[in-house]
């Protein structure tokens, strides 16, 4: 008979694989959206809506999924969720009009809700001091965005974009069956929540701390999703790369944004969620400062005549900065959920649903804003200017809500010694 420790790690492994496949499907339009844009003649704003619409569904459904996970357990909820996406994914290959893609994208977006289910499901199998690591390992399923960028372009080049959703639908079905075979049910995880009413579960919506965590997550996850959707096209438009090379370089941001989440969980367990999140936001701010600067030619009138100076990031420096920010986002995604497991151990599902909803909405709104800004200004780096402002606001909120109170508490606990003059 399987031990509890074996069951716990089997749940983490099977859930992580399931989440990776769900994330692949959720991010599918980041690659196939480019040939679809060309075929339908879409502008930047329409492209932003196309790639972001699945994120909307995956965001809005996170709260009810978190509540259902608390009430019924994560295994059955995640299994049904995966099966519900198989047909919509396949139907994308039959779409011909813009509204066809939007409609099917809404249903495929349900796959994005898998995170809220899995994070609560995995956390409950571990003691508090190891939950950060467990959630971080599960969250590494975000690498599905990178897997999508590596797999989908190859399929597009070889067979055309319509083959991608067909392949993904088969993968989703097989993964759902394997997940059910290798995961376990623990009735005790849901029994504590079965007597809790919906009103009591939704009471967390009145908690300002939950909304502060939601703001942090809208950056480290929402920003990650938005940029994962946007970067392939950005490389093509900004540097003139083809689809395969652009997707490969864009994976340089997506891979650390997923794989290193487990390390972020370990850091959060060791150093605390507050300290880790604070430095994540600062690193992100510095990266976004340089990424925001547009390609610029400066003409200076000198005694020898006009001289032109060019300022702007080349592809190498751009990729290094994106890679660095991907690492920061990965660590931050884990540290934010460490906050949740520390502060809300008995209703992780519903709180993670609220925070995940906010993060997902960030991933939905930002790509549309990116497209609008490019259409309005003609400056591609305006996407990073927008994110720089969002991170700055979050840092200020964190400073006034956490840093200053902590400093005041420390000063009250350890007052300065009084020195008497002689």
The residue length of the chain stands at 422
Write out the chain in H/E/C secondary structure.
Answer: CCCHHHHHHHHHHHHHHHHHHHHHHHCCHHHHHHHHHHHHCCCHHHHHHHHHHHHHHHHHCHHHHHHHHHHHCHHHHHHHHHHHHHHHHHHHCCCCCHHHHHHHHHHHHHHHHHHHHHHHHHHCCCCHHHHHHHHHHHHHHHHHHHHHHHHHHHHHHHHCCCHHHHHHHHHHHHHHHHHHHHCCCCHHHHHCCCCCCHHHHHHHHHCHHHHHHHHHHHHHCHHHHHHHHHHHHHHHHHHCCCHHHHHHHHHHHHHHHHHCHHHHHHHHHHHCHHHHHHHHHHHHHHHHHHHCCCCEEEEEEECCEEEEEEECCCHHHHHHHHHHHHHHHHHHHHHHHHHHHHHCCCCHHHHHHHHHHHHHHHHHHHHHHHHHHHHHHCCCCHHHHHHHHHHHHHHHHHHHHHHHHHHHHHHHHCCCCCCCCC
- CA 32/CA 14 separation, integer angstroms: 27
Amino acid 422: pLDDT: 46
CA distances from 146 to 24, 90, 224, 403 (A): 8, 21, 11, 35
- CA 44/CA 37 separation, integer angstroms: 9
Amino acid 382: pLDDT: 92
| Residues spanned by the domain of 139 | 4-408
Is residue 420 in a domain?
no
Regions in the chain scoring below 70 on pLDDT: 1-2, 187-202, 257-258, 346, 349, 406-422
Residue 300 pairs in a beta bridge with 307
Q: Which two tokens stand for residue 383?
A: 């996407």
Q: Check if the beta carbon of residue 141 is closer than 8 Å to that of residue 20.
A: yes
Phi, psi torsion values for 416, nearest 5 degrees: -65, 140
Is residue 421 in a domain?
no
pLDDT in tens, 2-20: 688 888 899 999 999 999 9
CA distances from 224 to 15, 62, 85, 333, 353 (A): 21, 17, 23, 9, 18
Is residue 419 in a domain?
no
Phi, psi torsion values for 297, nearest 5 degrees: -110, 120
Is residue 414 in a domain?
no
- CA 265/CA 360 separation, integer angstroms: 20
Is residue 366 in a domain?
yes
Nearest to 105 by CA among 160, 163, 165: 165
Count structural domains, the chain. Answer: 1
Which residues lie below 8 Å from residue 345, measured CB to CB, with a gap of 6+? Answer: 128
Is residue 422 in a domain?
no
Amino acid 159: pLDDT: 93
Is residue 130 in a domain?
yes
Residue 41 sits in a domain of what CATH number? Answer: 1.20.1250.20
Is residue 106 in a domain?
yes
pLDDT in tens, 276-319: 999 999 999 999 999 998 888 888 888 888 888 888 889 999 99
């Amino acid at each position: 008979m399987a031990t509890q420790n074996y069951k716990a790690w089997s749940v983490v492994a099977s859930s992580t694989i399931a989440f990776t496949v769900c994330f692949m499907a959720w991010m599918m339009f980041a690659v196939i959206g480019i040939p679809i844009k060309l075929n339908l003649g879409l502008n930047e704003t329409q492209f932003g809506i196309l790639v972001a619409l699945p994120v909307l569904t995956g965001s809005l459904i996170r709260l009810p999924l978190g509540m259902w996970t608390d009430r019924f357990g994560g295994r059955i909820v995640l299994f049904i969720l995966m099966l519900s996406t198989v047909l919509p994914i396949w139907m994308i290959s039959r779409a011909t009009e813009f509204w066809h893609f939007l409609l099917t994208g809404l249903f495929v977006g349900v796959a994005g809700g898998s995170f809220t289910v899995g994070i609560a499901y995995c956390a409950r199998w571990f003691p508090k001091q190891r939950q950060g690591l467990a959630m971080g390992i599960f969250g590494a399923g975000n690498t599905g965005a990178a897997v999508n960028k590596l797999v989908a372009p190859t399929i597009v080049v070889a067979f055309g974009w319509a083959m991608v959703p067909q392949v993904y639908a088969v993968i989703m079905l097989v993964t759902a069956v394997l997940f059910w075979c290798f995961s376990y049910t623990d009735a005790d995880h849901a029994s504590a929540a079965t007597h809790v009413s919906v009103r009591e579960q939704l009471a967390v919506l009145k908690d300002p701390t939950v909304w502060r965590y939601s703001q942090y997550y809208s950056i480290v996850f929402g920003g990650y999703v938005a940029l994962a959707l946007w970067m392939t096209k950005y490389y093509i438009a900004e540097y003139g790369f083809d689809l395969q090379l652009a997707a490969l370089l864009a994976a340089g941001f997506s891979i650390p944004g997923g794989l290193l989440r487990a390390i972020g969980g370990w850091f959060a367990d060791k150093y605390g969620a507050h300290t880790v999140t604070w430095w994540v936001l600062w690193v992100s701010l510095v990266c976004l400062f340089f990424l925001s600067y547009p390609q610029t030619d400066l003409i200076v009138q000198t005694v020898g005549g006009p001289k032109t100076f060019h300022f702007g990031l080349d592809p190498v420096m751009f990729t290094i900065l994106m890679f660095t920010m991907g690492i920061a986002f990965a660590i931050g995604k884990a540290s934010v959920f460490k906050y949740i497991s520390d502060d809300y151990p008995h209703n992780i599902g519903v709180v993670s649903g609220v925070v995940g909803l906010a993060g997902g909405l960030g991933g939905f709104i930002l790509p549309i804003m990116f497209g609008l800004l490019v259409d309005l200004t003609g400056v591609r780096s305006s996407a990073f200017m927008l994110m720089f402002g969002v991170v700055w606001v979050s840092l200020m909120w964190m400073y006034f809500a956490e840093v200053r109170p902590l400093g005041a508490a420390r000063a009250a606990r350890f007052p300065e010694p009084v020195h008497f003059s002689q």
